[in-house]
Structure formats: structure tokens, C-alpha cells
Chain A
Amino acid sequence: MSSPILKLVAQRLALGVVLLFAVSVLIFAGTQILPGDVAQSILGQAATPQALANLREQLGLDDPAYVRYFRWLGGVLTGDLGKALTSGQDIATSIGGRLENTLFLAGCAAVVAVPLAILLGLLAVRYRNGPIDKLISGLALASTSFPEFFIGYLLVYFFAVKWQIFPAISTVFDGMPFLQRLQAVVLPAAALTLVVLAHMMRMTRAAILNVMQSAYIETAELKGLRPIDIIRKHAFPNAIAPVVNVVMLNLAYLVVGVVVIEVIFVYPGMGQYLVDHVTKRDVPVVQAVGLVFAAVYILLNIVADIAAILANPRLRHPK
């Protein structure tokens, strides 16, 4: 590895850290301008002014905003996300298990969706403008166009209710055997796969088709290579950067955009946790979950950037 690459990668990482701090400010500011008073919402309408003042002092709510921000930030940096106002539980602990669940679900969906989308994209290019291409594109677009809750309920109707192959409610718990856990998430993972498949497949197809116009594709054709080899060996490596970008965007969606699916399948993940606590106005939890989501988003985008840099031979092998 040479120095320009290291420099670029380091730049991206540093940028990601700066971005994360900026996001933390936004999240903090956002929750501050929400109407209502935390102490009031904890103690309820019947609280005496003295009790409110005591609680405010106890929670440090009387300090200026920037002092509270840095106190919060300091906690976050040392792994202390605070306590949930409603239940009094440690947020970091609750998030830990739920983040794991969400990542497991997203991972299962990604393991199926990403290779499938790329494979379908390659096939669509190989048989471009023919019936196979149109069939692939049509089905993929149809699955994207349906709202995710509709797909979710459709899957539940057929696979859980009618044929009773998979459970309708994805209950997972600590110490659950892996295979059982896998079986529990089949339906939500399938629903997620159907939601993100088309976007990735269409982008793969477009990126490769763009490369197919290049002169070096003609060179490959004139070497007598098989069409699928031309696409795989000569077109795909040059389409990696845009493909990785869209894959990462979709992975980010799998992690942070699963709220609806988690609610449908009653899956104990981050999305459900967030929805629960938004309704209860539990500000520390909302802040913490927002920050985790932002971190996932930024991290995946950095990975996409770095992958695009590494995929470019001009940067990997300078003159």
C-alpha cells in the first residue's frame, strides 16, 4: 500500500469522525428545541414546583445547554449513554442487545440480497433488452414498488398463516440456538431483501452497461471471450465503485430503516426500541438511538468511499 491511498483513507476516516461530532450536536440541539420539560414529563402534571426544581437540579437541567451537551458527549465517549427516563434502565445495555438483533436481521437480509442483486444485474446486462432482462427488472421493480408493510403482511399471510412454514412473530432471546434464530428471522429478512433488491440490481445493471460502452470491452470481444466472461472480468471490475456505493446505501437502510418491518414482526431490534421511546418522550433514549443510527450511516458510507478508492487502480498503483 502506498502513501496516497493511506492519505485518502485517513482523510475519509477523519472526515467521518468530524461528521459524527456534527451530527451529535444536531441531535442534541434537536431534542432541546422539542417542546415540553423532561422533569415535568417524568413527574407528571400533579408534581409540586419544589419537586420539579429538585429533579431539575438532580438531572442538571438548569445548566446551560453547552454544559449539558458536553456532559452528554463525555458520557457517550466513555460508553455511558445515560438512563432511560421511563424505565430507569441503562440505555447502553438495552441498546447493546437490540443493536445485535438488528444487525443480525440486516446481516441475514444483506447476505441474500447483495449477491443476488449483483448476480441479477449481471444477468440483466448479459441478456439486455431481451425477455430475461425485462423479467428481472419488472419483478424487481414490482417488489420495490409495494410498500414494505404490504410485503410483510403478504409473507405472513402465505408462509405463516396459510402454509405455516415460518413463524409470524419473530421472537428471539439470548441464548437462542443459531438455527432457531435464523428460522425466526426468515420472513422479516425476506421482506427486507425484496425491498432493497431492485435498487441495487438496477444500479448494478446501469453501472455495468455504462462500462460496456468502453473501448476495452470491444478489445475483449475481439479476443473471442464469452459474453458473460466479458461482463464478469472486464466490465464488472470497472463498475465496482458505483455498485459499492449503492450497496452501502442499502445496507444502511437495512439497519436504520427497518422500523416498519420490526414492528410488523414484533422483532426486538433498534427500530422498535426507538418507536417505543419516541411515543414516551424519552429524550435520552431517542438521542442515543439517533446517534447510533448516524454512526452506522456514516461508517457504511466511509466503507463505500474507501472501497471506491481501493477499486481504482490509478490510486492503488500510482505512477
Chain B
Amino acid sequence: MAKAAAKTAHDGPLLDIRNLKIEATVYPPGEEPKQVTIVHGVSLTLQKGKVLGLIGESGAGKSTIGLSSMAYGRGGVKITGGEVILNGRDILKGGAKGVRALRGREVCYVAQSAAAAFNPAHRLMDQVVEAALEHGTGKRAELEKRAVALFRKLSLPNPETIGERYPHQVSGGQLQRVMTAMALCSEPDLIVFDEPTTALDVTTQIDVLAAIKDAIRDTGVAALYITHDLAVVAQVSDEIMVLRHGRLVEWGGTRQIIKEPRQEYTNALVSVHHIEHAEKTPTTAPVLSVKNVTASYGGGEVKVLKNVSVDIHPGQTLAVVGESGSGKSTLARAITGLLPPQEGSITFAGRTLSNALKDRTKNDLRELQMIYQMADVAMNPRQTVGTIIGRPLEFYFNMRGRERDQRIAELLEKIEMGKGFVDRYPAELSGGQKQRVCIARALAAKPKLIICDEVTSALDPLVANGILKLLLALQAEEDVAYMFITHDLATVKAIADSIAVMYRGEVVRYGPKSQVLTPPFDAYTDLLLSSVPEMELGWLEKAIAGRRMAAAGN
């Protein structure tokens, strides 16, 4: 841990958090509200101009700790103990007025979803200069000039005029950069970046990441960089702090954390995604065959799938990758009949499926199941796990009574949840457990194919890993095929047998995994693959340089 003497007025670290304790009131269903401790006595120091990465799974308390540097508790969260010393004074003792004076002046915040964090009713420029105006750091004209300079620095298109636009007129990646400009506009000493690239596509993430990194370097602002993605934080941080369940696990220099982790948990985070999966060769009789499917919204106005053909083989996995808006989920909707294709045909288990959902037989429906990204909204919150899994058994197989209960127990066994969960409600389960219940519900129908739509995207890496391993094990046991929709290429490498890369409604690259991931690549696949952060120091610079060369025509 570097402890370089900072040249500051108060001659100490910029931020010194000592023994921070944070509590929240939770309201468990059917019980009295109770106090839980979210952060148990964490301490950290940050020198001027340095970047500290806070990393951990959800519930680790990283956002909560980050926001404590602005004396802010989200929701019912309260800072109940410890000191937060910023520029030499304890901000927790400053009162409401003192806190308002530092927010947006000394410390600024960049949220995960800039799209939600900007007020839809005001122009971007008004929001960017608002904090600086409020704190009287300059005249409006002068601040707007500064903002335009920042827009230019963050490589936003049309820096002179982008401020006149409203949030909905600007893309997600651009908004994230505008939010960074908004934070920098007050010339703060510290910026809290709270998962600023998590909601973005990989191809966009890399640009935003590079822009943030340059801005930090050029302005000399210090930063707390919060993320669950170790590969991302390794690109921007000087030091990394690993948190778990509100406690410090390990704190060290970036190189040490990713190359020589000292704690087992850190090691698990570093080596996550290492699933060995031998590719299976395609068979002659695919279970699902999509031929030249074209589909559109608005009665043919917006074509969202153009001439798509893919095959899925029994007991194998087809991964469909691409950025948001590329048509991955639309392909799933076309296959399931929710969006009847205009042209093309879908053959499933030797028979041609009718395009529209209402013309399909019960058997067609049974053999083709889906699992979704948001497990908690895909289940009825007022039904128990037993009811949820039992429903397809009753509906498709007419199972009742003991027979059904026995099958439910078997299925729970399969998803490694065992006894004691049958009578629980979804709200009483963790994110990973909810997704497992959804898997069991799909399996209950004894399907030939399960469409998995971003099923691990909302989960923490270690939990996601467990789900992927489970899916692979179930595939071996049940010989079920998967169509696995994802934007995460590491997941693809871990489980796919064949891959379809989609871009703007078209399949741009398709074939067995080994073939798709072997050069020469087409331009889009190359961009996609080179954008996935690698846990390696200096990866970002290399990737950006590689892109510049490509753009220069090499």
C-alpha cells in the first residue's frame, strides 16, 4: 500500500474512513422490522489523486461505503458508527448544512445507470453545471465553457451542442460520459464511481472506461471506483479493496490483488469463469432448426430479425451473443411464438412449428421451456417454491398429490436445494436460489430445449458460476439442449458448443465454438472479442491502441 506524502493543506490523506459501521432497517415478510448491520467497522484511506477500487459481490457493502464519503445513506441505511474524515474534518459531525456544502463540491457521484440518474425534464447542460452553480464555484457562462471542454475531453460527439439535448436523446454510453463530466465540472477532490460501466455493452464499456481513466489522470481527482468486475477495476485503480458481507477481505496494490491474492476469497474472485467444457460435435439431426427467419415489430415496419438461420443439436448448447438491440431476445421470442416470424420456418424435434403461439400444441409448449434474466419477476411472489415447481407437473402431466410432491422433491434435489425450501416464498430466497427454482420449473416439463435468456447476468460472478456448472451438469443428466442468450463472452467460452454472433438483427458469425473463436475474425466479432476486459494490467491501453490501428485502416 503506497503511502506517499500528499502535498495538501491539511497534510493528511484526502479521505480517511475509520471503523465505519452502517446499519439498515429491514422489513422481512411477516416479521417485525429489525436492524441489520451492513458494514462492520471498515477502515480505509485514500490519498489525493489516487484511485481505490472497491470490489465485492452484491451485499458486500461497497456502494454503501462509497456513499458514506458523502455522508449519504441510501434508503433506510444509516451510518451508526466510526468517522469519515474528508480533507481533515469528520463530515459525519457537520450537520445537514455541512453535508450539503461538500456534496457536489468536494465529492461528486457517478451512478450505475446514468439513464435513470439524469432528470428527464431538464437539458443536460443545466444538470451538468447545476452543482457548481449551487455551490457558487463560478459564473454560468464560465461553467458551461468548462463543461464543453469536459465533453470534448470525454470524446462525446458534438461537444458544443450535446448539452442542449435532453437525456432521452442521448445513448446510454454517452450519458455515462456526460455524468462523468457532470462530476468533474465541480472540480471535486473525490469522485465516487458506482459501477459506471456495468449497465453498458462491452463494446461501449471500453470507450467509457478509457474516457474515465484519462479524465482521472488529467484532472488529478481522486476516485473510489466501485464494481463487481475485477477485470474492469484492474484497469483503472492504483489499489484494490476486496469486501465481503460488509467486512474487509483484502486490501493491496492492484498488481498484488490480481496476481498474488493472499486470501482464498480473492483468489476465487480472480479465477472465476474457469469452467472447462469440451466442445461437442454437431449431430446430423438438430433438435431445433431455425431457417431464414425474418421478424419485425409494428406490422413489418421495424425489421428486428433478418434472415436468421441457426441449428441447435440435442444435448448441446448454442450461445447467442451480441450487444443490446442486436436481436438475441427477439430470436427467442420468434422461436417461442411470442413474435410470429413473417418469413422462414422453425423445425423442432422433427416437426414444423406453427409460427403463432396459439396454434401450437401443448406438447410443443412443454418441450420448449424458458428461463429468464430476472428470476424474481418470473415467479409469482405469492406462491411457494413447491407450488411454482408443481404447476408444470399438474399442467403437463396431470400429476397430483403424493406423486407430484415426490417429483418436486426430486427436482429440488437436482438443483442442489434439497429439503426445507418447498414451503418458502420467492422473497425468502437469494438471487441464485431463485434462478435455481426457475431452472427446476423449466426442467419439470421435461423439455427438449431450454432457452436461457441472460440467466446469469443479474447474478454475482461466483453465484453465476454455480448456476453455469449446474446447467452443464443437468445437460449431461437430462440430455437437454440450451439456447443460451448472453452478452458475456466469458460465459460463452465456459458453456457453449456452438456460437451465433448477432449484430443488428443478423447472424454475422455462426459455427462450432472453436471455429467461431479462431481468427480470422470478421470486423464485428473482432470488436466484440477485443472489448471483453481481461484481468491483466495495461489491457485497456492495449485494446484501445489495437482499435486505433484498426480504425486507421490496418
Decide whether A and B are members of one complex: yes
Known: A215-B111, A215-B113, A225-B100. Contact between A220 and B168, CB under 8 A?
no
B503 at the interface (CB under 8 A from A): no
Chain A residues positioned under 8 Å from B105 (CB to CB): 224
Q: Among B116, B127, B131, B168, point to the contact of A215 (Cβ < 8 A).
A: B116
Q: B63 CB to closest chain A CB, in angstroms? A: 11
Chain B residues positioned under 8 Å from A32 (CB to CB): none
Contact B134–A223 (Cβ < 8 Å): yes
Q: Among B74, B109, B131, B168, point to the contact of A313 (Cβ < 8 A).
A: B168
A7 at the interface (CB under 8 A from B): no
Contact A220–B100 (Cβ < 8 Å): no
B431 at the interface (CB under 8 A from A): no
Contact B168–A218 (Cβ < 8 Å): no
What per-residue 1/0 map shows which CB atoms of B91-114 lie under 8 Å from chain A?
A: 000000001111111001101010
Alpha-carbon gap, A313 to B113, bound state (A): 19
Contact B103–A224 (Cβ < 8 Å): yes
What per-residue 1/0 map shows which CB atoms of A198-241 lie under 8 Å from chain B?
A: 00000000000000001110111111111000000110011000
Please provide the 5 A-B residue pairs with the shortest distance between their CB atoms, ordered closest to farther.
A224-B103, A223-B104, A223-B131, A237-B121, A215-B116
- Contacting A at CB under 8 A, from B157-211, are 165-166, 168-169
Chain B residues positioned under 8 Å from A238 (CB to CB): 119-121
Known: A215-B113, A317-B169. Contact between A220 and B119, CB under 8 A?
yes
A314 at the interface (CB under 8 A from B): yes
| Apart from the given pairs A215-B116, A224-B100, 6 other A-B contacts in the complex at a CB distance below 8 Å | A215-B113, A218-B111, A219-B117, A219-B119, A234-B122, A319-B168
- Contacting B at CB under 8 A, from A5-31, are none
Chain A residues positioned under 8 Å from B99 (CB to CB): 224
Contact B166–A317 (Cβ < 8 Å): yes
Alpha-carbon gap, A252 to B109, bound state (A): 45
Q: A293 CB to closest chain B CB, in angstroms? A: 35
Chain B residues positioned under 8 Å from A224 (CB to CB): 99-105, 131, 134-135
| Nearest-CB residue, chain B, relative to A316 | B166
Contact A218–B74 (Cβ < 8 Å): yes
Most chain A CB inside 10 Å of its own CB: which residue of B72, B99, B100: B100
Most chain A CB inside 10 Å of its own CB: which residue of B119, B127, B168: B119
Chain B residues positioned under 8 Å from A223 (CB to CB): 103-104, 108, 130-131, 134
Contact A313–B116 (Cβ < 8 Å): no
Alpha-carbon gap, A220 to B182, bound state (A): 12
Alpha-carbon gap, A220 to B113, bound state (A): 14
Q: A111 CB to closest chain B CB, in angstroms? A: 26
Alpha-carbon gap, A238 to B116, bound state (A): 13
Chain B residues positioned under 8 Å from A237 (CB to CB): 119, 121-122
Known: A218-B74, A222-B108. Contact between A313 and B102, CB under 8 A?
no
Contact A314–B168 (Cβ < 8 Å): yes
Contact A222–B104 (Cβ < 8 Å): yes
Known: A222-B108, A317-B169. Contact between A216 and B100, CB under 8 A?
no
Contact A218–B121 (Cβ < 8 Å): no
- Contacting B at CB under 8 A, from A303-319, are 311, 313-314, 317, 319
| Nearest-CB residue, chain B, relative to A216 | B119
Q: Among A216, A221, A233, A311, point to the contact of B118 (Cβ < 8 A).
A: A216
B346 at the interface (CB under 8 A from A): no
Chain A residues positioned under 8 Å from B122 (CB to CB): 233-234, 237
B70 at the interface (CB under 8 A from A): yes
Chain A residues positioned under 8 Å from B102 (CB to CB): 224
- State the main secondary structure of chain A at its contact with B: helix
Interface residues in chain B, defined as those with a beta carbon under 8 Å from any beta carbon in chain A: 70, 72, 74, 99-105, 108-109, 111, 113, 116-122, 127, 130-131, 134-135, 165-166, 168-169
Contact A222–B103 (Cβ < 8 Å): yes
Chain B residues positioned under 8 Å from A216 (CB to CB): 116-120
Chain B residues positioned under 8 Å from A234 (CB to CB): 119, 121-122
Alpha-carbon gap, A219 to B111, bound state (A): 8
Chain B residues positioned under 8 Å from A220 (CB to CB): 119, 130
Q: A61 CB to closest chain B CB, in angstroms? A: 52
Known: A224-B102, A313-B121. Contact between A219 and B168, CB under 8 A?
no
| Nearest-CB residue, chain B, relative to A239 | B121
Chain A residues positioned under 8 Å from B130 (CB to CB): 220, 223, 225
Q: B162 CB to closest chain A CB, in angstroms? A: 13
Known: A224-B135, A319-B169. Contact between A219 and B118, CB under 8 A?
yes
Most chain B CB inside 10 Å of its own CB: which residue of A215, A216, A311, A313: A216
- Contacting B at CB under 8 A, from A142-162, are none
Q: Among A215, A226, A313, point to the contact of B100 (Cβ < 8 A).
A: A226
Known: A221-B103, A224-B100. Contact between A314 and B120, CB under 8 A?
yes
Known: A215-B111, A237-B121, A317-B169. Contact between A222 and B116, CB under 8 A?
no
Alpha-carbon gap, A29 to B74, bound state (A): 60
Alpha-carbon gap, A237 to B108, bound state (A): 24
Alpha-carbon gap, A233 to B131, bound state (A): 13
Alpha-carbon gap, A215 to B1, bound state (A): 35
- 7 A-B pairs in the complex with CB atoms less than 8 angstroms apart: A219-B109, A223-B103, A223-B130, A224-B103, A224-B104, A237-B121, A238-B120
Q: B128 CB to closest chain A CB, in angstroms? A: 10
Alpha-carbon gap, A215 to B75, bound state (A): 11
| Nearest-CB residue, chain A, relative to B116 | A215
- Contacting B at CB under 8 A, from A172-218, are 214-216, 218
Alpha-carbon gap, A311 to B120, bound state (A): 11
Chain A residues positioned under 8 Å from B108 (CB to CB): 222-223
| Nearest-CB residue, chain B, relative to A234 | B119
Alpha-carbon gap, A238 to B120, bound state (A): 8
| Nearest-CB residue, chain B, relative to A236 | B121
Q: A31 CB to closest chain B CB, in angstroms? A: 44
- Contacting B at CB under 8 A, from A58-107, are none
What per-residue 1/0 map shows which CB atoms of A105-132 lie under 8 Å from chain B?
A: 0000000000000000000000000000
Contact B116–A214 (Cβ < 8 Å): yes
Chain B residues positioned under 8 Å from A222 (CB to CB): 70, 72, 103-104, 108-109
Contact B119–A221 (Cβ < 8 Å): no
Alpha-carbon gap, A222 to B70, bound state (A): 7
Q: B165 CB to closest chain A CB, in angstroms? A: 8
Alpha-carbon gap, A162 to B105, bound state (A): 59
Alpha-carbon gap, A216 to B102, bound state (A): 19
Alpha-carbon gap, A36 to B244, bound state (A): 84
Q: B114 CB to closest chain A CB, in angstroms? A: 9
Contact B111–A313 (Cβ < 8 Å): no
Chain A residues positioned under 8 Å from B121 (CB to CB): 234, 237-238, 311, 313
Chain B residues positioned under 8 Å from A319 (CB to CB): 168-169
Contact B117–A218 (Cβ < 8 Å): yes
Alpha-carbon gap, A314 to B119, bound state (A): 12
Alpha-carbon gap, A220 to B116, bound state (A): 12
Chain A residues positioned under 8 Å from B104 (CB to CB): 222-225
Alpha-carbon gap, A221 to B104, bound state (A): 9
| Nearest-CB residue, chain B, relative to A314 | B168
Alpha-carbon gap, A237 to B127, bound state (A): 14
